[in-house]
């Protein structure tokens, strides 16, 4: 186990548990959190023994978005950077995008355990995940428009793809908040549970995914992401390019063989 001031990274078998850990600041994204979170996703991508990741927050808020009190003075040069996180934040223009998965090509499944309110960049982080378990206290929203800002963490791209068009436009243009039950009804989250069950439920979703053959899991996610928004014929060609290598693996021979022989498969990961 490794713990850091702003983000905790824990390995539980083949699952990485990433926890935003600034409860006193509503888990807002300051330069340190963005650096640590971007590094966590990079570690998940680089480590082949990690097969799935769960992201959550400490306290009663999942993530309140960017910590404007810390980031705006840096970008407007009204204060000088005074640590390595500040300097990296200024040097890497895509740091925030990496942290909230806006520019991610990570093909390992990510599950959000949404322990409370997820707004602005916090909601955009949720949009970058694949499976979402929300607490009954969770609230969702992209409220940037209320402060004359633009929800530039992917919301104008992802929300219309993940919600009905008119609903996405309501979220984007009003800046209102939506409760967990309504988010569930809209298909934005998979399940709503009591807050003390959120993490356990998310881990329960991650474990069977991590038990599946990684090459198939990663190819399925990569294919889905690559096909989104494409014309059907083009998408079918993309799907074929992702599926063909899976069928050439030894595990793809073992799986159907075990099924026919009525036994548990013995996968090799290749």
Using DSSP, state whether 201 is helix, strand or coil: helix
Determine the Cα angle at 102 with ends 100 and 103, to 5°. 120
- Catalytic status, residue 124: yes
The verdict on whether 136 is a catalytic residue reads: no
Cα(225)–Cα(121) distance, rounded to whole angstroms? 21
- Characterize 224-251 residue by residue with b for buried, 16 or more Cβ atoms within 10 angstroms of its Cβ, and e for exposed: eebbeeeeeeebeebbeebeeebeebeb
Q: Within 13 Å and on the Cβ side, how many CA atoms surround 170?
A: 10
The angle formed by the CA atoms of residues 194, 198 and 204, to the nearest 5 degrees, is 125
Q: Which residues, other chains included, contact 89 with Cβ-Cβ below 8 Å and sequence gap of 6+?
A: 31, 34, 35, 71, 74, 81, 95
Local structure of residue 146 (DSSP, 8 states): G
- Which of these is catalytic: 43, 144, 232, 261? 144
| Residue reference for tokens 């040069």 | 77
Nearest to 238 by CA among 218, 224, 252, 250: 224
Give me the catalytic one of 12, 124, 185, 254. Answer: 124
Residues designated as active site: 124, 144
């Amino acid at each position: 186990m490794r713990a850091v001031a702003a983000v905790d990274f824990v390995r539980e078998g083949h699952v990485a548990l990433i926890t935003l850990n600034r409860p006193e600041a509503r888990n807002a994204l300051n330069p340190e959190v963005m650096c640590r979170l971007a590094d966590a996703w990079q570690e998940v991508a680089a480590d082949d023994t990690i097969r799935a990741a769960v992201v959550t927050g400490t306290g009663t808020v999942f993530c309140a978005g960017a910590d404007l009190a810390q980031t705006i003075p840096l970008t407007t040069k009204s204060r000088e950077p005074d640590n390595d996180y500040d300097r990296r934040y200024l040097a890497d223009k895509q740091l925030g995008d990496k942290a909230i998965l806006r520019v991610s090509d990570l093909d390992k499944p990510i599950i959000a355990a949404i322990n409370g309110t997820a707004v602005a960049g916090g909601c955009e982080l949720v949009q970058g995940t694949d499976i979402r378990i929300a607490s009954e206290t969770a609230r969702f929203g992209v409220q940037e428009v209320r402060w004359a800002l633009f929800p530039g963490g992917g919301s104008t791209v992802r929300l219309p793809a993940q919600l009905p068009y008119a609903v996405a436009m309501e979220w984007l243009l009003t800046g209102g908040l939506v409760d967990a039950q309504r988010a569930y009804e809209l298909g934005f989250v998979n399940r709503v549970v009591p807050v003390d069950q959120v993490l356990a439920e998310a881990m329960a979703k991650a474990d069977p995914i991590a038990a599946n053959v990684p090459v198939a899991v990663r190819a399925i996610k990569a294919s889905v992401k690559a096909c989104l928004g494409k014309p059907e014929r083009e998408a079918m060609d993309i799907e074929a390019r992702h599926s063909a290598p899976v069928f050439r693996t030894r595990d793809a021979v073992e799986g159907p063989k075990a099924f026919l022989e009525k036994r548990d498969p013995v996968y090799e990961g290749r």
